[in-house]
């Protein structure tokens, strides 16, 4: 098993019905992550540009690096939620991504996650339309993997990868987002195989609502059985609900995952 991380903000309380929430006191999450034995925090930028997010200033990036080093928290992933509310194909979005790319390189990020939902929704019919912009983004992000988070099939991703022609284009497999599809989650895991660059762990119910692990539709025993057969050695990020106590939930989740891999 690889490293275990948690999405930024999930170690803090949030306003009611706000799952993805940039924490007001983001610095405190590093000490909490260290205490709970998480390896990394997955940073993110919001759907609406937030100038107060540390990623947008050199001083903020330096602070991220200093606090991460102090608490032995690795810097690996950055997820850009901005493209969910802003089309990936608009000129302003591409300019935004260029600026973001420059900043995450300074931060030392290894993986840039692009969730292709909302206004940038990727499907099994339009996925090739994304090729040109992805090629440009890969050129800009030297030495950084581009991870696509999407509902497309393994076959579509293979075709997209052929079109983009880069080993740095990988797939982010999200257990919660894919459980409500007509496709078989566990078979898809097998088919994506080595194309999986990272995994988001979460659970959802029949209403497509995020719920605590093992209370929704995802059969995690089957998930980890497949991953062990694939000899998956890459990393995981918890993108679960906080429940009433973020600290207690995060501790319960990491114990759950380590138990599944006998760590």
Q: State residue 16's pLDDT score.
A: 82
Residues 135-170 pLDDT 10s: 999 999 989 999 999 999 999 999 999 999 999 999
Q: Which whole number is the average pLDDT over 168-181? A: 96
Return the beta strands (E) in 46-90 as ranges: 77-80
Q: State residue 15's pLDDT score.
A: 80
> Does this model's pTM top 0.85?
yes
What percent of the chain is modeled with pLDDT above 90? Answer: 93
Q: State residue 33's pLDDT score.
A: 98
Q: pLDDT confidence of 263, banded at 50, 70, 90?
A: low
Signed CA dihedral, 13, 20, 107, 98: sign only: negative
CA-nearest of 148, 93, 80, 88 to 119 is: 88
Q: What is the average pLDDT value for the chain, to the nearest integer?
A: 96
Q: What CATH number has the domain bearing residue 74?
A: 3.20.20.150
Q: State residue 46's pLDDT score.
A: 97
Q: State residue 31's pLDDT score.
A: 98
H/E run at residue 34:
helix 28-35
Q: pLDDT confidence of 17, banded at 50, 70, 90?
A: confident
Residues 215-240 pLDDT 10s: 999 999 999 999 999 999 999 999 99
Residues 6+ apart with CB under 8 A from 234: 2, 196, 197, 198, 199
Answer whether residue 19 shows pLDDT above 90. Answer: no
For tokens 């339309």, the residue is: 129
Residues 44-86 pLDDT 10s: 999 999 999 999 999 999 999 999 999 999 999 999 999 999 9
Q: pLDDT confidence of 119, banded at 50, 70, 90?
A: very high
Residues 26-50 pLDDT 10s: 999 999 999 999 999 999 999 999 9
Q: Which whole number is the average pLDDT over 17-24? A: 89
The C-alpha atoms of residue 122 and residue 125 are separated, in whole angstroms, by 8
Q: Tell me how crowded residue 127 is: count the other CB atoms within 10 A of its CB.
A: 20
Work out how many domains the chain is built from and give that number: 1
Q: Which whole number is the average pLDDT over 171-190? A: 96
| Residue 195: domain span | 4-260
């Amino acid at each position: 098993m690889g490293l275990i991380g948690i999405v930024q903000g999930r170690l803090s309380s949030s306003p009611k019905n706000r799952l993805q929430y940039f924490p007001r006191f983001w610095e405190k999450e590093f000490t909490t992550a260290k205490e709970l034995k998480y390896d990394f925090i997955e940073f993110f930028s919001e759907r609406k540009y937030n100038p107060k997010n540390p990623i947008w200033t050199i001083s903020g990036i330096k602070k991220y690096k200093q606090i991460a080093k102090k608490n032995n928290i690795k810097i690996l992933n950055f997820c850009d939620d901005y493209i969910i509310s802003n089309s990936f194909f608009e000129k302003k979005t591409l300019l935004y991504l260029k600026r973001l790319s420059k900043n995450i390189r300074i931060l030392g990020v290894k993986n840039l996650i692009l969730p292709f939902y909302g206004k940038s929704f990727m499907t099994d019919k339009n996925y090739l339309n994304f090729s040109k912009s992805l090629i440009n983004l890969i050129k800009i992000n030297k030495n950084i993997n581009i991870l696509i988070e999407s509902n497309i099939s393994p076959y579509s991703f293979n075709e997209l990868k052929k079109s983009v022609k880069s080993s740095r284009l990988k797939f982010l497999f999200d257990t919660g987002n894919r459980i409500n599809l007509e496709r078989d989650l566990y078979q898809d895991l097998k088919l994506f195989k080595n194309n999986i660059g990272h995994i988001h762990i979460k659970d959802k119910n029949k209403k497509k609502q995020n719920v605590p692990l093992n209370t929704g539709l995802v059969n995690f025993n089957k998930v980890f059985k497949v991953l062990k057969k694939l000899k998956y050695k890459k990393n995981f990020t918890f993108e679960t609900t906080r429940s009433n106590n973020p600290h207690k939930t995060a501790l319960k989740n990491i114990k759950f995952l380590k138990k599944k891999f006998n760590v």
